[in-house]
Structures are given as C-alpha cells and as structure tokens.
Amino acid sequence: MTLTLPSAPKIGMVSLGCPKALVDSERILTKLRSDGYSLSSDYEEADVVLVNTCGFLDSAKEESLAAIGEAIAENGRVIVTGCMGNEAEVIRNRFPEVLAITGPHQYESVVGAVHVAAPMPPSAYLNLVPESGLKLTPRHYSYLKISEGCNHRCSFCIIPSIRGDLVSRRPDAILREAEKLVAAGTRELLVISQDTSAYGVDLRHATWPWKGGEVRAHMTDLARELGTLGAWIRLHYVYPYPHVDQVIPLMAEGLVTPYLDIPFQHAAPSVLKAMKRPANEAKVLERIHRWREICPDIAIRSSFVVGFPGETEADFDYLLQWLEEAQLDRVGAFRFEPVTGAAANSLPGVVPEEVKEERYARLMETTARISAAKLQAKVGRQIDVIIDVADGEGGASGRSKADAPEIDGEVHLRDAADAKQGDILRVLVEDADEHDLFGVPVG
Ligand code: SF4
C-alpha cells in the first residue's frame, strides 16, 4: 500500500538583528520543523512568513519595518516576532494586515500564531529535525545562548526593558545542547548572552548533576566543562568582573579559546559613570596586562561608543590614550545614537554630529594602526585556522582563534586545495594588513 502524506505548510523566515535573535530564530524554526512544517527560502513558496525583528536602535527598527513591508509586498501573510514585537502599535499602524505580532522569547506564542495562520493538515509526520536542532549558521560553528536578559541598566540601552532581567539556563541543559552540536559537526561554539560574566547569578550559582559529578551555574565552571568537548570555545559579552580572571588560566591551558569579547564602550570614568556601565573599575588596564602575562596569545575584542552625551575632548583623549595602552586586538566603534526610551537621551551635553564624526575617524585611525602592528607581529608564526570558505581550487579563507565570525578579521590562504569548510589547519602566516592575515597551510 502506498501512503500519501499531505504536504506540510511552508514557513519563510527573515531573521534580523544580533546573534541572540538568530538563536531565537533557530529555536522557532526547530520547533516548527518538529511540528511537521516545511521551510521555504523564498517568499513565493511560503504559506506564511515570519519576520524576527530587532529593536535595539532606531535605525534597526526602521530596517525591521522595511523587512515587514517587503514580506507583505512579496507574500502578504506575515507574522512579526522579536524585539520590535514590544511596539505592536507602531507595526499595526504601518501594516494593519500583519497576521500576528509577538515579542521576544515568546516562542509558544509565535509558534501558536503559525499554527493558526497555516494549520497543519491532520497526520503530518513528526521527528523531521536533526538531534542538534536546525541551524542558520554553517555546520562548523554554532552560537550557544546561556542566558537571556540583563540585570544592568546602562543608560543607552533598552534591552532590559525589552528582554527583562537575567534568566540563566541550567548548566546541564547548556552542556547537553553543546554536546549535540559538537556531535553534529560543530567545531567552534560561540557562547552568547547579554552578560556572560553574570551567568548563574539568578540561580545563585547552584549545582546540577552532570556526568556522575556536578556542574555549577557559573561562567568559570561552564567554560571548563565546555572546554572538554574538543571544540573551540569563544566567550562573548564578558564584563570584567573580578572572577573573569579565573577563566584566563583555562585559556592558557588550551581548554578555552584565548579570546575575550568585552564591550568596554568607553574608558573615561565620567563617561562610564554616565553610561552606568557594569564592572566599571579603574584597574582594568592592570588586569589586561596580567591576563597577557598568564596567556600571551589572548585576543581581546571590544566595542566603543564615541560622542556619548557629556563626552568632552578630554574624555575622548583619555579614551585614545587608554587604547594605546590597552593594545586591544580587535575594536568596533559606534557614533552615539539615541534609542527611543533610553535614559541617555535626556542627558546634558549632546555632542554635535560633526564632532562625533571627527572623533570616530580618530578612534578608527588609532585602532587600525594598533591592529596592523599586532597582525604584522604574527607574520612568520604558525597558527591554527578554521576554514569558513574553500573554493576547491586552492583558495580558502578562515579565521584564527583571535577572530570570531562576522565581526573580526579573516585569514586568506593560498595553496589550500584540500581545505574543506570546518577543517582546522596549521597555517604559516606570510603577510598581514590592517585587519586580515595571509598564509599557507603547512604540514
Ligand atoms: S549590560 Fe548594559 S548594554 Fe548590555 S544588555 Fe545590559 S543594560 Fe544593555
């Protein structure tokens, strides 16, 4: 007897915003796939299109509204979720035909909305999902979200009002997910959250049974356990609380990738105070020097805001001087932009746009010079490179342990005909520019 299965509705997804939003999209798609839905990569075929929005900056909101408009024009049946879901009225006013609007982390609601908009035919077959879930990243690297929300109240940020206070995942659940990802081919795990150093605070750093022993809900313990899985473990969004010092020896031992993404945002004490930044303490430079003594290869990436309200020329000079001393490996910079609802908008001392531009250019010039010198110092050394793209004809590009995907530099390889995506190759560095390295596989 031939069994004819009814065809499952197809879901399209437009995912905007940060890696945390990407993880949300993966979870939603994983749940929908396990419910029997099919996925569609084009508007035309989709029975309904989900738009996972970002509402962090006003420019991101505009981008989200434009994406909703495009999905409506191309398909017409649209469900909106994510950070902008908290501003349902704005969306409804512009696009009254949107089928449903849900906010961030409302997985059940958005999945429920899909079931209403495109009901499954009876008797669809389940278990269509690989053990590791569905991923929007390439197979060889995966984001691993360890908590949601944030207990801080930085004056330029509205994330806590969108996503709420810190809620950490259980460490055993995180480790189980990480194991599945590694078993499915992930060779690099990117640990993300709003505040990775605060992981487990809400759980009072309790312990859970794990592999015959126990694991504590704490960044250091989690990093150590993740380090046993054999993948590169890259820590993002780390604030320099004192206990961060404890993960540096794990990097020196090779358990955790020697890379710290610390969004310092500024260095001048008065600006940091106005920003209400967490772990804002004077001894950070000393600690960075100590970290480098313990783990000389540690790469530190950070981001900075220029033109924050009240930032004086002296504050900005302080920041440049601080950068000269800190010698950070990777730096991203932003000109301050008011976000609707952020406390910083009402601070005095608005910095004119042309001053912001001029400071931004000076900061980029400083950090590009530091980056170029640091990369030049790697010429002649051998490093490990994870391959992201291989053209099969000898050209390939990938990243060293100092480079996270999307935000940092790349390593461009010649004579790498055997390289495949996800391989980790030993590479001789032959040349460098301001952002990237150039090399050839050895051995
Ligand atoms: S630490 Fe500050 S910037 Fe980061 S999410 Fe929390 S409030 Fe926002």
* Joined tokens for residue 327: 């010698």
Q: Which of 56-65, 250-259, 329-338 has the lowest mean pLDDT?
A: 56-65
Encode pLDDT of 142-165 as tens digits: 999 999 999 999 999 988 888 889
**Within this chain, do residues 53 and 178 fall inside the same structural domain, yes or no?**
no
Residue whose CA is closest, atom 8 of ligand 1?
Answer: 157
Q: Tell me if 18 is assigned to a ligand binding site.
A: yes
Distance 59 CA to ligand 1 centre (A): 18
Look at residue 124 and tell me if it is in a domain: no
pLDDT band at 42 (very low <50, low <70, confident <90, very high): confident
Distance 149 CA to ligand 1 centre (A): 9
Q: Which of 69-78, 114-123, 210-219, 409-418 has the lowest mean pLDDT?
A: 114-123
Half-sphere exposure of 255 (CA within 13 A, CB side): 15
**What CATH number is attached to the domain comprising 79?**
3.40.50.12160
Would you say residue 125 has pLDDT above 80?
Answer: no
Mean pLDDT of 378-390: 97
**Within this chain, do residues 160 and 263 fall inside the same structural domain, yes or no?**
yes
DSSP-assigned letters across all residues of 122-179: TT-----S-TT---SS-TTEEEEE-EE--S---TT--HHHHH-S-EEPPHHHHHHHHH
Q: What is the Cα–Cα distance from 395 to 412, expressed in whole angstroms?
A: 8
Look at residue 132 and tell me if it is in a domain: no
- Position 250 scores a pLDDT of 97
Ligand 1 within 6 A of CB of 195: yes
Q: What is the Cα–Cα distance from 118 to 49, expressed in whole angstroms?
A: 10
Residue whose CA is closest, atom 5 of ligand 1?
Answer: 194
Look at residue 123 and tell me if it is in a domain: no
Q: Tell me if 54 is assigned to a ligand binding site.
A: yes
Q: Which of 20-29, 163-172, 255-264 has the lowest mean pLDDT?
A: 20-29
Q: Identify the domain boundary among 337, 358, 376.
A: 376
Q: Tell me if 295 is assigned to a ligand binding site.
A: no
**What CATH number is attached to the domain comprising 190?**
3.80.30.20
Would you say residue 280 has pLDDT above 70?
Answer: no
Would you say residue 183 has pLDDT above 90?
Answer: yes
Q: Which domain holds residue 412?
A: 382-441
Q: How buried is residue 229: exposed, middle or buried, by Cβ count under 10 Å (0-12/13-18/19+)?
A: middle
**Within this chain, do residues 352 and 387 fall inside the same structural domain, yes or no?**
no
Q: Identify the three-state secondary structure at position 272.
A: helix
Number of domains in the chain: 3
**Within this chain, do residues 235 and 364 fall inside the same structural domain, yes or no?**
yes
Q: Helix 313-326 vs helix 353-376: angle between axes, to the nearest 10 degrees?
A: 10
Distance 40 CA to ligand 1 centre (A): 34
- Position 124 scores a pLDDT of 44
Encode pLDDT of 354-383 as tens digits: 999 999 999 999 999 999 999 999 999 999
Look at residue 126 and tell me if it is in a domain: no
Q: What is the Cα–Cα distance from 386 to 411, expressed in whole angstroms?
A: 9
